[in-house]
């Protein structure tokens, strides 16, 4: 009897084990059913599109490319722009603090930069890099060369029309301007509706070119060259029109002479006076020809 009871207990033990091992089959059926129901429920919801082969790039604002490839410069001080990479070349333009210019090239020593002339669209000039800050890959700038500088004789050569003052010893080439020394100490150059007045005295004598200044606001007009020295030029501007140019911002003292120089418009209608850049450039050339003679 004891052996029969023991055998029956062992038989029930093995039967229970086979029942637990069969349970996973039922669980798998339940999981499969639940998975199918989940998929069916999700099929009615919108599915976001996710690219499988491309990764979205982060957007970035890009400025339109310029001829310089995006390389620009600015200056901390008023800086002249010349025809070539040397102070021997004449000045053709200038750059003021707060302005920027596109850089086209550089000289071999990276001391001068060839830039788009900010005052003359379509023109180019050379700017000394002492006060310049370059933005961009300067290494990619091409090395640029300029025409060799040929010094221009400013003393009165034979056969060239010009104004020579024997008492004060200077020479001036007026170019296409007519000149009149109606007063012993005053030279007047005229062209169209423009008048350039140059008053000159020996230092220590009083020079008065004019007693009043018309209406307008003063603006920095850059630089000009007189007797090989640099001076500042101021412009009187009213309603975006240039009414007057003052050279030297007062008396200029150079090599024993004192000068006052003014460029006026002679149109009787003050509102119509607007001195063009081409006229200012011509006056700069006239003044740069000024030289003392013995």
CATH number at residue 87: 2.30.30.40
Asked, for residue 127, whether it belongs to a domain, the answer is: yes
116 Cβ contact list (under 8 Å, min separation 6): 67, 68, 101, 102, 104, 123, 124
Q: Spell out where the chain has E strands.
A: 72-75, 79-82, 91-95, 100-106, 112-116, 124-128, 132-135, 163-165, 170-172, 178-183, 186-191, 194-202, 217-226, 229-238, 241-254, 257-265, 291-292
Provide mean pLDDT across the span 274-289: 92
Whole-angstrom CA distances from 173 to 12, 44, 177, 289, 293 are 131, 92, 9, 6, 13
Whole-angstrom CA distances from 81 to 88, 96, 128, 190, 192 are 12, 11, 7, 28, 29
The number of C-alpha atoms within 13 Å of 76 and in the hemisphere containing its C-beta is: 6
Judged by average pLDDT, the poorest of 23-27, 127-131, 238-242, 262-266 is 23-27
| Contact call for residues 256 and 203 (beta carbons, < 8 A) | yes
Please give the angle made by the CA atoms of 59, 62 and 67, to the nearest 5 degrees: 155
Provide mean pLDDT across the span 157-179: 80
Pair 181, 225 in one domain: yes
DSSP class of residue 47 equals: -
Pair 111, 173 in one domain: no
Provide the pLDDT confidence category of residue 106 given band limits of 50, 70 and 90.
very high
Pair 168, 132 in one domain: no
Provide mean pLDDT across the span 84-112: 87
Q: How many CB atoms lie within 10 A of CB 145?
A: 11
Pair 113, 213 in one domain: no
Range of the domain at 87: 72-140
Domain count for the chain, please give it.
Answer: 2
Pair 86, 182 in one domain: no
Asked, for residue 184, whether it belongs to a domain, the answer is: yes
The number of C-alpha atoms within 13 Å of 199 and in the hemisphere containing its C-beta is: 14
**pLDDT value at 152 more than 80:** no
What would the two tokens of residue 233 be? 């030029």
Provide the pLDDT confidence category of residue 33 given band limits of 50, 70 and 90.
very low
Pair 191, 85 in one domain: no
Q: Rounded distance, CA 21 to CA 249, Å?
A: 108
| Contact call for residues 201 and 167 (beta carbons, < 8 A) | no
- What CATH number should be reported for the domain holding residue 184? 2.60.120
Pair 211, 251 in one domain: yes
Q: Rounded distance, CA 178 to CA 189, Å?
A: 6
**pLDDT value at 289 more than 50:** yes
Whole-angstrom CA distances from 119 to 122, 283, 284 are 9, 16, 15
Pairing of strands 186-191, 194-202: antiparallel
3-class state of residue 169 by DSSP: coil
Pair 118, 189 in one domain: no
Pair 118, 226 in one domain: no
Provide the pLDDT confidence category of residue 157 given band limits of 50, 70 and 90.
low
Asked, for residue 26, whether it belongs to a domain, the answer is: no
Pair 98, 179 in one domain: no
């Amino acid at each position: 009897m004891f052996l029969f009871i023991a055998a029956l207990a062992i038989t029930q033990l093995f039967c229970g084990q086979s029942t637990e091992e069969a349970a996973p089959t039922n669980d798998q059926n339940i999981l499969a059913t639940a998975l199918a129901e989940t998929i069916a429920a999700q099929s009615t919801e919108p599915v976001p599109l996710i690219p499988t082969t491309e990764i979205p790039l982060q957007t970035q604002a890009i400025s339109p490319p310029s001829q310089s490839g995006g390389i620009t410069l600015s200056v901390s001080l008023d800086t002249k722009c010349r025809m070539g990479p040397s102070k021997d070349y004449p000045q053709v333009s200038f750059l003021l603090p707060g302005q920027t210019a596109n850089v086209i090239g550089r000289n071999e020593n990276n001391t001068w930069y060839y830039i788009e002339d900010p005052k003359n669209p379509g023109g180019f000039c050379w700017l000394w890099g002492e006060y310049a800050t370059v933005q961009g890959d300067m290494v990619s700038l091409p090395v640029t060369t300029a025409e060799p500088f040929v010094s221009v004789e400013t003393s009165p050569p034979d056969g060239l029309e010009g104004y020579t003052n024997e008492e004060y010893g200077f020479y001036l080439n007026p170019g296409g301007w007519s000149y009149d020394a109606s007063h012993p100490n005053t030279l007047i150059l005229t062209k169209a509706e423009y008048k350039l007045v140059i008053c000159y005295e020996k230092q220590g004598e009083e020079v008065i070119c004019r007693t009043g200044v018309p209406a307008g606001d003063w603006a920095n007009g850059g630089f000009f060259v007189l007797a090989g020295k640099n001076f500042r030029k101021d412009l009187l501007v009213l309603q975006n029109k240039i009414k007057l140019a003052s050279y030297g911002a007062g008396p200029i003292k150079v090599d024993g002479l004192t000068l006052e120089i003014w460029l006026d418009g002679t149109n009787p209608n003050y509102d119509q006076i607007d001195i063009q850049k081409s006229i200012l450039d011509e006056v700069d050339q006239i003044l740069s020809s000024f030289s003392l003679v013995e």
